[in-house]
Structure formats: structure tokens, C-alpha cells
Amino acid sequence: MPLLVVSQNGVAEQKERDAAIDEQTASRIAAGFVHDGRTYAGTMEDVLYIQSFGMLAVAQIVNGSVDGDLRWLDQDNDFTWYDIGGVAVTFDAQGAYNLALSAAAHIAAHYRAAQIIKGDAGQSVTTSGHWP
């Protein structure tokens, strides 16, 4: 069986390329995602909050929250999230759950694209057609 010889330069170049892809992935995710025609912030902090509220929404749905009940989390206030332009958008529990699903799909699509690009050295890091 022939020996596989990889130069240290090749390994270093692949690590640099992978790091550039990871940076591009993070930047594209943070740029935001569209849900029901509105763009929402996609930073990891924002997505963590959205997904946390999504989990709470599931609990409320399981416990019988009804469609259209905007006070599913706080009986004194409608549940509101702000789009990237600062516009307040109200959500019932199902809507908050769907927002969390959109955020998760946004992230998954970018990670999937990154893995494809990492696997094909001929793909451009910034302009690949694999980016969503």
C-alpha cells in the first residue's frame, strides 16, 4: 500500500481555508434571516434567545395555548420580538415556535453549505453557489 504524504504547507493551507470558511459562515449567519417577510438578527446571541423562547412556546402549546393568544408568556404583555429594522412584531406561541424553526433552518443551511465548500477545494469561499 502506498504511503500518503501530505506536506505541512498543504495542511496549513487547508486549515487557513477552513478558518476562512468558518468566518464566512458566521458572518452570513449573523447577517440575519427572513421569517414571514421580515428580517431578524442572526447573531448567536439573538438566535439563542429566539430558540429559548421557541422552547417555551412549545411548552405552552403542549399545555393548551390557543392560536392568537399573544399573552402566552406574560399575561400582562403581548409577546413581542423586534425585526432587524426595530419594528415590533407580536407572536402567539405557534408563531414564536415557527420563528425559532426559521432561525434553526437558517443556521443549518449555512453549516451544510460550509461543509460542502470545505469538501471541494475548487469552491470559492465567498462566492460559492452553495451559500444560501
In terms of Cα–Cα distance, which of 89, 130, 124, 129 is closest to 112?
Answer: 130
pTM of this structure: 0.86
Mean pLDDT for all residues in the chain:
92
- pLDDT tens-digit map of 59-100: 999 999 999 999 999 999 999 999 999 999 999 999 999 999
Q: Is the dihedral of CA 132, 34, 94, 67 positive or negative?
A: negative
Q: Where are the domains of the chain?
A: 31-118
Residue with cell 443551511: 109
